[in-house]
Amino acid sequence: MSMIADYFKQAELALAAYANLFSGIAGDEFRIALEDGGKGMSPTQAAFFASHWRVIDQSPASPTGFSATVFEEISSGKRYLAIRGT
């Protein structure tokens, strides 16, 4: 994978971490959560992301705004940790 493709993957995971997700979310519910009422991914980007990733778990946002999400790439089974900024 090129460095640019790797950075793009990391950027998408970071953006997705801002959505309110939970283990097992899938389909339209996952896509809509990623779109976040127009503040998140575009509908096309959200649909593509939801078809290539699954949510393993997301910590609830703390009073400080911290939240972390573990995503699994469906094709490889590799897991990635994305931390929401505060």
What pLDDT, in 10s, does the model give residues 49-80?
999 999 999 998 788 888 999 999 999 999 99
Q: In total, how many domains does the chain have?
A: 1
Tokens at 24, concatenated: 């097992």
User: Residue 42 belongs to what domain range?
Assistant: 3-84
CA–CA separation, 40 and 69 (whole Å):
16
CA–CA separation, 27 and 11 (whole Å):
21
pLDDT tens across 3-24, in order? 999 999 999 999 999 999 999 9
DSSP code of 37? Answer: G
pTM: 0.90
